[in-house]
Amino acid sequence: MAYVAAVVRQFNRQLNDEMMRWIYLVVALLFCLFTLIFAIQNLEATTVSFLSFSVRMPLAVLTVVVYLLGTATGGSLLALLRRAYQGSKQP
């Protein structure tokens, strides 16, 4: 009986993993679609100034650059926190 329960749990876990993959895929595709729509609708150039540096680029490109910088920063912070957490668990 315990074997059957273990098999059922394993099947449910695999089913949940497969379902979550599809959900992640749909969310990623929707994000890409919305990003494409945003890029098409925001092609006008805008000027960005920081200190004495100034650059003129389409708003969509600027948004993608800021998004990528945020992703890199967030990923680095997540890795740092994960390493600190794992280090605190070890004696």
Q: What total number of domains does the chain contain?
A: 2
Q: Domain of residue 30: give its range.
A: 1-41
- For residue 21, pLDDT beyond 90: no
CA distances from 16 to 1, 7, 20 (A): 23, 14, 6
- For residue 9, pLDDT beyond 80: no
- 48 and 89 in a single domain? The answer is yes
- 74 and 52 in a single domain? The answer is yes
* pLDDT tier, 11 (very low <50, low <70, confident <90, very high otherwise): low
- 29 and 60 in a single domain? The answer is no
- 49 and 20 in a single domain? The answer is no
- 34 and 55 in a single domain? The answer is no
The pTM for the full model equals 0.51
Q: Each residue of 31-61: pLDDT tens digit?
A: 889 888 888 888 899 898 989 999 999 888 8
